[in-house]
Chain A
Amino acid sequence: MLAVMAMISGFGLGSMYGLLALGFSLTYTASNTVNFAQGSAMMLGAVLCYTFAVTLEWNILSSISLTLLLCAVWGLLVERFTVRPFVRHGSPAWLMATLALGIVLENAVLFTFGKEPRSLPSPLTAQPLSIAGLGVYPLQIVIPVVGLLVALGLQLVFRHTLRGKAWLAVVQNPDAAQLMGINVTGMIAAAYALSTVFAGGAGMLIAPLFNVSSDMGTLFGIKAFAVAILGGITSAWGVMLAGCAYGVLEALITALFGSSYTHVVTFTLVIIALACMPHGLLGRAGVNKV
């Protein structure tokens, strides 16, 4: 019973990691780059939504819509100023640049929003539902559903739509894709915009269960990246599956062995899993055709 309850709790937390990690998957699939400011983008979503919905008392739908729009704009800025200039010159400095931009954003929010954590109220966390003796907020059911739908959507787009195939073509051979009339720059920028929209959405979904603060995305961002690698970063399904598995594993280890062993055992198992499956749970080795 203890294990079942821990698994239910861990699944809810793990799906949050998975949802955030989908952003990593998207940009990597489209451009072979990763936005290390993804955790900060998640925080940005939560902070903007709090500001619009609570501080300014705007309608919740308008607040969510504007937040997602601004997150998309933020993604375009990240790509334009911290990724494109470096990728163009074949430099891996985008890695440091995105990380640095995330820190800049966190500090900017610290000065404007304040560092004091705030609570984002939601009707979906007002009353827990009882599942196997454990109270589960409706929001904890919504998060994995959203995550799985997003993963399904991405999989369908990449496999069955022209635009998705164009995205895959961009990452396999940008020059050839350009010659085929694909707007490579636009496709990569769109991937970044969409990934930060996912992150902002994840921030808004997670905030009522956690809190809203300038540093809320740091730990989530790190764990989400670990999850993205574990799942096989090019596979949306793999990333979502890894997120849920990671959350369940973390909760099970804590419940069965105690919190002192959580990080040691969890990360050891992650290393063993990657040693056995170097491309992640559902990832595939890249093939270079010559």
Chain B
Amino acid sequence: MVRARAMRTAELWCLVTSVLLGVPAASVWAAEPIKVGLVAALSGQSAKSGEAITRGLTIAIDEINTRGGLLGGRQLTLIRRDDESNPSKGQIAARELIFKEKVAALFGGIDSPVSLAIVPLVNKEKVPFMGVWAAATPITRNGANPNFVFRVSAVDELVDKALVQYAVKKYGAKRPAMMLINNPWGESNEKGLTAAIASAQLETAGIEKFEGNDADMVPQLLRLKAAQADVIFLVATVAPGAQVMKGLERLEWTVPVVSHWGISGGRFPELAGKGAQHVEFIQTYSFFGSQSAVGQKVLAALQAKYPDIKGPGDVTPPVGVANAYDAMHLIALAIGQAGSTDGEKIRQGLYAIETYDGLIKTYHRPFSPDNHDALNENDYVMVHYVGEQIEPLAK
């Protein structure tokens, strides 16, 4: 209601200005940029994730603006806010972007708890929210109708299935265990992994949890070792993930660690030391190997715009860049379909996208009322750290 009134006031001012200046109203509108917002961790242990998302969005926005923008020449503008990985701060930032900046769509960051805090707000205010990293299942499957939350990223439930399948196939896992961060993201994965382990007819050796600031994970690992775990599924952000790897080193326990991607958003190799090289984790894209035409174009654009990127290994973490790039193009296509920046029309526009030849894959009807996740388990790749670079594992 408030937004609609603000739009009417803006339209009136636009008309008055155009009459006074003697220019057609349409051209005044054409000059007004379309704002899109990003609420992500731009500082803290996951700051690299926010930077990667920013880069992916920026490259896509540059392409769209170079082609003449959207809705008859309106340029896209990205407005970023730091959530510091804090759900309350993320919600405040989202409110500011919606009510003050009046963004047409919002993008989310790495932290599932932050995205989960923003979901009720965007559904109430009818602003499309596109997740590009946070993988908690209830982010998109939130029960709201209408649901304004979409995602170009992994989904915990599907990631968990993929991790279990990988552990069985590569290590013949029979008694896997879980090391989970004690927050909503960890809970989401506990459910997903428990279901995936059960459906693979395996026995869980144990489930252990830790806080983000815990200094010593050895007691939890001792318990899992005593339970004869043969693989550990790790769900953690960078700092506690590094403490888990230090704990394994102290135990001299060389159990395979198959991890969700939370460890890829910061200085994991620096904090975990040698142990960082022993973790295998999931991503949605790798800039290594043979690249599609879109992959070559994006890599070239990244190298041209960011001097620190000399090759594919410098696009760190790649998942943030790739997801954000495709997500921005999908939102742009939806705005084009909608013919306006109205939230409900963009939502319908996302459903109406037929085909998009993207970076991660060629999307065919990526979204429908029953499916708000554009990626699925067929789009995941397993990777590991080589030095500080993330490289794909041989299939």
Contacts and interface: CB of A to CB of B under 8 A. Distances in A.
Measured as residues with beta carbon below 8 angstroms from the partner, the interface class of chain B is 20 to 34
* Residue among A2, A130, A220, A250 having the largest count of chain B Cβ atoms under 10 Å: A2
A19 to B, nearest CB: 13
Interface string A249-290: 011101110111000000000000000000000000000000
B243 A210 contact: yes
Contact of A210 (B43, B215, B226): B215
A6 B213 CA distance: 19
Given A116-B47, A259-B220, 4 more contacts: A9-B218, A134-B218, A206-B215, A259-B208
A258 to B, nearest CB: 7
Measured as residues with beta carbon below 8 angstroms from the partner, the interface class of chain A is 35 or more
Interface stretch (A10-18, A23-31, A224-232): A10-18
8 contacts: A6-B219, A118-B271, A210-B215, A254-B220, A255-B223, A255-B226, A258-B206, A258-B223
Interface in B195-250: 206, 208-211, 213, 215-216, 218-220, 222-223, 226, 238-239, 242-243, 246, 249-250
- Cβ-closest 7 pairs across A and B: A254-B219, A135-B250, A115-B44, A9-B218, A251-B219, A255-B219, A219-B213
A209 B215 contact: yes
B215 A258 contact: no
A135 B252 contact: yes
Interface in A90-148: 110, 114-119, 128, 130, 134-137
A87 B249 CA distance: 49
B270 interface: yes
A6 B222 contact: yes
Contacts of B337: none
Interface of A: 2, 5-6, 9-10, 12-13, 16, 110, 114-119, 128, 130, 134-137, 206, 209-211, 213, 215-216, 218-220, 250-252, 254-256, 258-260
B250 A211 contact: no
Interface in B236-273: 238-239, 242-243, 246, 249-252, 266-267, 270-271, 273
Contacts of B238: 117
Given A6-B222, A13-B215, A119 B250 contact: no
A16 B249 CA distance: 20
Interface string B22-55: 0000000000000000000001110100000000
A136 B250 CA distance: 6
B237 to A, nearest CB: 10
Contact of A135 (B45, B243, B251, B273): B251
Contacts of B182: 259
B239 A255 contact: no
Contact of A118 (B210, B216, B249, B270): B270
Given A2-B226, A218-B213, A130 B208 contact: no
Interface in B42-94: 43-45, 47, 84
A116 B45 contact: yes
Contact of A115 (B43, B208, B219): B43
